[in-house]
Structure 1
Amino acid sequence: MNIRAVLFDLDNTLTHREQSITVFSQRLANAYQSFLNQIDILEIKQIIEYIDHGGYPLLERLTHKTIGASVAYALIEQLDWKSKPDPDELTQFWFDEFGLSAVPMSGAFSVLETLKQQNYKLAVVSNGGHATRQTIIKGLGFEHFFDEIISSERIGISKPHPEIFLKSCALLGVSPQYSLFIGDHPVNDFMGAKDAGLKALLLEGFHEHDINDTTAKITRLSQIFEHL
């Protein structure tokens, strides 16, 4: 199969979300140290991870419409503050700084660099706010690699609906049958892409699944080249 376009999920595919939360927690502790009676980066991280739930927040844990606002509320309620910050300010800190705290997945830069040099069309297809997707990709230093950054907010449809994959291929000018999608989620990424007619690879290690096709699973991004 002559693959012409390679499309990626973002969280836990190009960026390691747990490691990114660790970096963000340190940034928050540094920025608000004068507001806190004590600084416990592990506690900050645990509060965030409870709300964030690997980027797939549970509705019952969200106190607000966004992860950022819910995280801000939880931090204000649970940390030991000398002086509590304004909730809107802390929410904005999340949106300003989380993307810039993004930690790349091992091997991601070299894989993207090689794919770009080999003239593949490249895109990110990710559920979430468009500005947040752009900030994360900028924080990773990956923006120059991509022909398109596609978010569910931009398209108006979320993965795993086939239409977001089909529109992504159309934006790249490549038919689905000549496109390869890589992601960590067995339903939103792997099955969604396959249902839209793309070739799909599941990056293992982040979600339980019952996918038995060993030829469709990878454990590191560099294995992509075996499927082009």
Structure 2
Amino acid sequence: MSSAFDSSILQDGGIEGVLFDIDDTLVDLRYAAIDAFLVMVSDLLEGVTADQKRTVAQDFADDGAGAYERYMAGEISFLGQRQLRLNRAFELVHREPLSTAAYLQWAEKYESLVKESWKPFDDVQAHLSALTTWGIPYGAVSNNVEAYQRMKLERSGLSGFAVVIGSDTAGAPKPDPAPFLAGCAQLQIAPARTLYVGDNPVNDVLGANNAGLVAVFLDRESKHSPVSAPTVSSLEELTALLSKSIVVREHP
């Protein structure tokens, strides 16, 4: 079960700006990663069943290796974390990992494919349009490099983000307060009047709350344990809830 959405946080036009996580909140990165991975291992994992390939593709996309947090901590490079995830995938089906040279070639092709598969979730455009109609400014705060995430938004057809904060520009990754506060500063909205929407209970929900923002947990597949924050299963649901309490502002 999800925590009930406490509509009292939205009363009296209390929300004046919205910040979003990007990966698997706005952009279906998991789908893109699985899709590109399956193409890239079709010849490398001959003899492995389709079901096994999908299982390891999902593990790769979900970072069963726990590599991305090590990248965020500065322990390994971006390519290094992806290599660890690929090595784990091969190990799960009892195959030898690629050599470093072969991996670098694989990574280059994978990157090209995954970019082609980036797309927003079906409910994103309508939600952003509603915010625009209401005169509510919005932006994004992400645990990745700002330039890369801006490119991801643009290639996904989400070009309306003037405010994009990356872990590099904020000087620290979520759940540190710095990126959240940097986003609020660029929106020119006080943290207490800024909604933050994300899919990670720790990096997004706990981080935003600790920074003084109003966190909303987006649990699209209802696969997480309940969290101590308002929870929605889609941005369509959030749009409906906001529509009941948002005070429409004039566009500047």
User: TM-score, normalised on structure 2?
Assistant: 0.71
The one of 194, 212, 219 equivalent to 1:179 is 194
C-alpha distance 222-28 of structure 1, shift in aligned 2 (>3 A): same
The Cα offsets for residues 68-109 of structure 1, whole Å up to 9 and x where unpaired, read as 23345456776989x988211112223333233224223112
1:156 alignment partner in structure 2 = 171
Residue 37 of structure 2 corresponds to residue 25 of structure 1 = yes
Q: Residue 238 of structure 2 aligns to a residue in which SS?
A: helix
Greater relative contact order (CA < 8 Å, ≥ 6 in sequence): 2
CA contact (8 A) 1:185 1:202 kept: yes
Per-residue CA deviation, residues 33-75 of structure 1 (Å, 9 max, x unaligned), is 5x775686654443343244x358515998x644323345456
The answer to whether the Cα contact below 8 Å between 2:197 and 2:215 also exists between their aligned partners in 1 is: yes
* Equivalent of residue 99 in structure 1, options 115, 121, 130: 115
Q: Give the corresponding residue for 1:86.
A: 102
Q: Does 1:136 align with 2:152?
A: yes
Structure 2 unpaired stretches of 5+: 1-12, 71-75, 247-252
**Counterpart selection for 2:59 from 24, 35, 50:** 50
User: Cα distance, 1:188 vs. partner?
Assistant: 1.3
What is the CA–CA distance in structure 1 between the aligned matches of 2:60 and 2:144, rounded to whole Å? 16
Q: In structure 2, the residue corresponding to 1:86 is in which secondary structure?
A: helix
Q: Note the aligned Cα RMSD (angstroms).
A: 3.3
Q: Is the 8 A contact 1:147 1:172 kept in 2?
A: no
Matches of 1:42 and 1:222, distance apart in 2: 32
Task: Specify whether residues 41 and 168 from structure 1 end up closer, same or farther in structure 2 by C-alpha distance, changes over 3 A only.
Answer: farther
Residue type of the alignment partner of 1:116 = T
SS in structure 1 opposite 2:178? helix
Moved more, 130-139 or 2-11: 130-139
Residue in 1 that maps onto 2:214 = 199
Of residues 5, 8, 18, the one that matches 1:6 is 18
- Aligned residue type for 1:12: D
How far apart are the structure 1 equivalents of 2:20 and 2:203? 12
- CA change 1:60–1:26 in 2 (3 A) is closer
Aligned identity (percent) is 22
Change (3 A) 1:116 1:43: farther
Contact 1:7 1:181 in 2 (8 A): yes
Separation (CA, whole Å) in 1 of partners of 2:148 and 2:69: 21
**1:208 maps to amino acid:** S
Post-superposition CA distance 1:126-160 (Å, at most 9, x none): 11233442343233211x12121211122121111
- Cα gap change, 1:199 to 1:154, in 2 (>3 Å): same
Change over 3 Å in CA distance of 1:162–1:180 after alignment to 2: same
**Count of matched residue pairs:** 218
**TM-score, with structure 1 as normaliser:** 0.77
Give the whole-Å Cα distance in 1 for the aligned partners of 2:28 and 2:89. Answer: 22
Q: 1: CA distance between counterparts of 2:64 and 2:127? A: 26
* Residues in 1 aligned to 2:69 and 2:57: alpha-carbon distance in whole angstroms: 11
